[in-house]
Amino acid sequence: MNRLLEAARQGRHGVRDYLMMLMAYRHGLRVSELIDIRLKDLDLETARLYVRRKKGSLSTHQPVEGDELRAIRAWLREREQHSNARSTYLFLSERGPMTRQAVNYLVNQIGQRAKLRFHVHPHMLRHSTGYYLANRGYDTRLVQDYLGHKNIAHTVRYTRTAAIRFEGLWR
C-alpha cells in the first residue's frame, strides 16, 4: 500500500490522487462511494468523515487520522484554485466531479507507476482494508460495520485467511 500511496503523489495531480487512494483504503470505499464524497461529509473540527455507503450497505461516520486530515487540508487548499471549485463534490477533474472510469484508469496508472506486476483496480483497496483489519485481529462484526456490509457473509472472506486469529488460543 505504501508503494501505491507514494506513486500516487508523483502524478500531475499528486495531492488529489494521494488523498483519493488514502481515503479509499482507510475507509474501505467503493469507487462510487469515493466519488460521491461531498464537502459537507467532512467535519475537520471533529476529524470525522460521513461515509455514504452504496449497494444497500450501512452508512456511518468514521474517524479521520492526522496524516489523512493533513492530506485533506492540502487538497482543499489546492482545490480552491480549481476551475470547478464551486462543486459540492470533494474530488474534481478538469471537467467536473471525478467519474468511476477516471478513478479506474487513475488507480491502474498508479499501480503501473508503483511497478506492481499485476493490474490494480480500486476495489482492491477496499479488499485490502478488510484483510488489514482482519489480520490485525479485529472482530468480524467490527470489520462488517466498518466496511458497511449488511450481510456478514461478505465480511467472513477476510477473516478466513487471517491465521493470526488462532494465535494465543491455548496460552
DSSP assignment string, 94-151: TTEE--HHHHHHHHHHHHHHTT-SS---THHHHHHHHHHHHHTT--HHHHHHHHT-SS
pLDDT score recorded for residue 154? 81
pLDDT score recorded for residue 69? 98
Q: Which of 18, 25, 126, 146 is an active site residue?
A: 126
Q: Are 142 and 66 in the same domain?
A: no
Which backbone phi and psi does 144 adopt, to 5 degrees?
Answer: -60, -50
* Residue 55 appears among annotated catalytic residues: yes
* Residue 149 appears among annotated catalytic residues: yes
pLDDT score recorded for residue 149? 86
* Residue 30 appears among annotated catalytic residues: yes
Q: Which of 38, 55, 61, 136 is an active site residue?
A: 55
Q: Which of 52, 82, 123, 154 is an active site residue?
A: 123
pLDDT score recorded for residue 8? 96
* Residue 115 appears among annotated catalytic residues: no
- Provide Rg for the chain, Cα atoms: 17
pLDDT score recorded for residue 170? 77
CATH number for the domain spanning 96: value is 1.10.443.10
pTM for the model stands at 0.88
Return d(Cα 155, Cα 132) in angstroms, integer.
Answer: 12
Domain that holds residue 156: 125-166
Mean pLDDT of the region 125-141:
90
8 A C-beta contact, residue 130 and residue 145: no
In the chain, pLDDT over 90 holds for what percent of residues?
A: 71
Q: Which of 16, 26, 30, 79 is an active site residue?
A: 30
Mean pLDDT of the region 24-29:
96
Q: Are 21 and 69 in the same domain?
A: yes
Q: Are 87 and 132 in the same domain?
A: no
Residue 1: how many CA atoms within 13 Å on its side-chain side? 16
Q: Are 156 and 88 in the same domain?
A: no
Give the CA distances from residue 167 to residues 123, 137, 148, 156, in Å, rounded to whole numbers and listed in that order.
29, 10, 27, 18
How many residues would you count in the chain?
Answer: 171
Q: What is the pLDDT of residues 65-115, one digit of tens each?
A: 999 999 999 999 999 998 889 999 999 998 999 999 999 999 999 999 999
In a domain, 171, yes or no: no
In a domain, 82, yes or no: yes
Look at residues 102, 118, 134 and tell me which one is the last residue of a structural domain: 118
Angle, to 10 degrees, between the axis of helix 123-135 and the axis of helix 153-160? Answer: 60
Q: Which of 18, 25, 146, 158 is an active site residue?
A: 158
Lowest mean pLDDT among 8-12, 24-28, 155-159: 155-159
8 A C-beta contact, residue 147 and residue 130: yes
pLDDT score recorded for residue 163? 66
